[in-house]
Structure 1
Amino acid sequence: MFKGLTLLLLLISSTVQAEPWPGEQWPTGAIITNTEALENYAFPPRDDTTRKGVRTDALLIIRDGQIIYERYAGPTNAQTPHLTWSISKTLMATVLGVAYGEGLFKLEDPAAKFYPPLAKHPDIKLADLLHWASGLDWQEDYEYAPLKSSVVAMLYTRGHRDMAAFTANHDSYAPPGQAFRYSSGDSNLLAAALKNIVGPQRYADYPWTALFEPLGIRHAVWETDATGTFVASSYAYLTARDLARVGLLMARDGRWNERQLLPKDWLAFNLKPFAGYKAHQDEAVPGGQWWLNRAADGAASPWPDAPADTFAALGHWGQAMYVIPSEKLLIVRYGDDRDGSYRHNELLKRVMQAVRP
């Protein structure tokens, strides 16, 4: 009996030890060589005078915890903390997941409990903000419509000093939790709520102590507004390799080595499609500040050439991190795409062709 138990424990131990994890550096696996079609799409000749077309700054592919492809372009290299734009939203959701695991809040808590300026909207729950479903009348327009854009005003003009207060001052257009409307303001309300969730003394260091340091991320930069609140909508900077650590955490069900950093029910919430979403062509389905390759509302899956379990963190100008658990793959792609020509499915299709025998 004891010999059998000892053998079982040795087998379990060897299995755990065989699972690759990055230390100071990522381990390297068998480098893929079937990359011509992938590189033709991701790295076409680059014209910095017009900034047109697909303009990849970084492409990193990791399989089962090991780097199998890595290339950089433009001014970016492996040591460059790259602006992630709206991947910052997903990073804030991941930081909140650690706080959730500490028992500091519940998804059904009123957001005003932790951010009192939302008292005029008492029915907004933290879960609603995570679903981009606050019901606030927000216009997420960018360069093509700056005069009516809520996000441009928040980041650059009348709202930039206190972005959460600017957002909270918006009127409602729908009851909270019923309709999806993508909103950088909702994400910045979460960043303001985190200040009271963890307490002002912990707040300034919390993304580092809660997430970055346990994952071995050493060079993250996260800007704040004038109130000291993290700009969760837009202004986190990480190297491609460091962002991939967050992807590996998610790919392995919130576990980092032997520590369960994110509760499994938090991941289940992140990766469950929001019920109030109405499908749009080629648009990924929102979860809890993540994007899902799921069929919804009668529409086909948005990335048909990628596995159905693919999920992603996405940002302006082509920033993307894709996690594909069924293939043990994660892909970080940084870009500088100004004309909207980049297509998620096209890159994913060519990655899958490159990594499959």
Structure 2
Amino acid sequence: MTVCPLPAATPAAQGVDAAGVLALLDALEAEPDIEMHSLMVLRHGHVVAAGWWAPYAPERRHLLYSLSKSFTATAAAFALDDGLIGLDEPVLTHFPEFEADITDPRSRAMLIRHVATMSSGHLAETVDDAYGTDPAEPVRGFLLQPPQRDPGTVFAYNQPTTYTLAAILQKVTGQPLTEYLRPRLFDPLGIGEAAWLRDGTGRELGFSGLHLTTEDVARFGELYLRDGVWQGRRLLPEGWVAEASRAHVPTGGAMGGTDRQDWDQGYGIQFWRSRNGFRGDGAFGQFCLVLPEQDAVVVTTAATEEMQTLLNHVWKHLLPAFRPAPLPGAQDAALADRLARLALPPATGKAAPPERPEAWAGASFSPYGGVCADQPGLSGVEVTPGADGWTVTLGENGHRLGLALGTGGWAVAEEPLPVAVSGGWTDPDTLVVETLFLETPHRLVLTCSLPDRTFTARWRHAPLHRPPLGRLRAPLTPGPPA
């Protein structure tokens, strides 16, 4: 499939003040708890700013976490249009094999509409209970959790609702979500390889686990900005975008915290309302912001728990940059130069031990305290020299992952999985290695202490699915269970 790039233009030509984008970059990079991986801004259908913080790159797919939900909703739109489902059908009609088990009247009354809008009647997340009750069939496990309120009356951010919707879609279509979406969404938009994590049932998760590039997400956002029309061709059913993006259920205070304004605007069909427009939203800063009033789309990939802060900076610096007419463009060149030079700073440390390299050569390390709390399966570390530099090998559940330190900066490797490694010896007795798992938001910081032959490993932001290290990548096709 030949994919045409999205049309590009200077910010000024599309009425965007480049100074505002520069101010946004300044603000985000000044935040110690926000690590940006990519930013793309579209205005009037044109890419006016796009940048990746090296070693992240344009062609790299990135784990979207719950931004995946918006793609599940889109699959539901096609299934509705194909006559395969109806929003007012009881969930149980698609799982007659559970009919005798599900006796709670509220569970029996739950409609597809309710799981699509996270208004199942539960008051809190049920994912652990659902998988814990029936690991072999999480839909049954979910339906065995009695809702505390009538379905349709209350919101709770609840992964099994989306999982159940995705299970219904895969059941009625007879296909994984990626296969069903390929001719209807991915190919028309020019989206390349899409990978979605599966669980032990073999289903694609639906609520999380989709890996796409930044530009893929931007194309998706542009489709929703254009009311489901792509290059003059209607892809989504007429009226779907308005239905999916309106607030179906209030969410005020539902996500907790004292500064969650953009989570208090209401929930649609697997889309959040925002103080400006609406959005697909994934953990750690994976955003697809659709801004109809500004005729714009903003996409970010990142690693942060300060997601409201990230949005606050977008609203503060970028929104005022959208102007009604073309501009002179005095800052366009400065912005283009800045975007081309974006990079995450490498970790500090010397590429070889400053003293006694023979003591480090072949040294083995055990978890400090006997177990690695952040990654319990990680049981040992070995450090070995080679012709091209030093290698740190991690042992986890019988598998080994070698990380080449290189000679400075980020050393990028594609096999056995895409990683970037940086670090070295901070003193004669201490080796610190930072590893970016490049198809995810995640960074592991490993510290080895020579005197006591122990190591610690901590996540900057722990993976939500808690997989083995070797699975921190876009899954192969067909993917292994998550």
1:291 aligns with 2:275: no
Partner of 2:184: 210
Partner of 1:279: 252
Residue aligned with 2:108, SS: coil
Q: CA RMSD in A?
A: 2.5
Contact 2:178 2:195 in 1 (8 A): no
Q: Report the CA distance shift for 1:194/1:175 in structure 2 as closer, same or farther (over 3 A).
A: same
Contact 1:253 1:267 in 2 (8 A): yes
Partner of 1:257: 231
Alignment counterpart, residue 26 of structure 2, candidates 35, 40, 47? 40
Partner of 2:425: none
Contact 1:53 1:342 in 2 (8 A): no
Alignment counterpart, residue 188 of structure 1, candidates 163, 177, 191? 163
Q: Report the CA distance shift for 1:216/1:154 in structure 2 as closer, same or farther (over 3 A).
A: farther
Higher helix share: 1
Partner of 1:64: 44
Quote the offset at 1:74 in angstroms: 4.8
Contact 2:122 2:155 in 1 (8 A): no
Quote the offset at 1:137 in angstroms: 5.5
Give TM-score scaled by structure 1 length: 0.77
Correspondence list, 1:1-357, <5 A: 23-31=3-11, 33-34=18-19, 35-44=21-30, 52-116=32-96, 119=99, 120=102, 121-136=107-122, 138-139=124-125, 150-151=126-127, 162-198=137-173, 200=174, 205-274=179-248, 276-280=249-253, 282=261, 283=263, 284-293=265-274, 303=275, 306=276, 310-338=277-305, 342-356=309-323
Contact 2:67 2:282 in 1 (8 A): yes
Q: Which moved more, 1:208-217 or 1:111-120?
A: 111-120
Q: Which has the larger radius of gyration?
A: 2
Counterpart code for 1:58: S
Partner of 2:460: none
Contact 2:41 2:298 in 1 (8 A): yes
Query: Using the alignment, how far apart are the partners of 1:278 and 1:241 within structure 2?
Result: 30
Query: Using the alignment, how far apart are the partners of 2:308 and 2:270 within structure 1?
Result: 24
Q: Report the CA distance shift for 1:117/1:83 in structure 2 as closer, same or farther (over 3 A).
A: farther
Task: Give the fraction of aligned pairs with identical amino acids, expressed as a percent.
Answer: 25
Query: Using the alignment, how far apart are the partners of 1:340 and 1:257 within structure 2?
Result: 32
Higher strand share: 2
Q: Report the CA distance shift for 1:131/1:234 in structure 2 as closer, same or farther (over 3 A).
A: same
Q: Say which structure, 1 or 2, has more relative contact order (CA 8 Å, 6+ apart).
A: 1
Query: Using the alignment, how far apart are the partners of 2:294 and 2:308 within structure 1?
Result: 27
Contact 1:248 1:330 in 2 (8 A): yes
How many pairs does the alignment contain? 303
Contact 2:194 2:210 in 1 (8 A): yes
Q: Which runs of 5+ in 1 are unaligned?
A: 1-21, 46-51, 140-149, 294-302
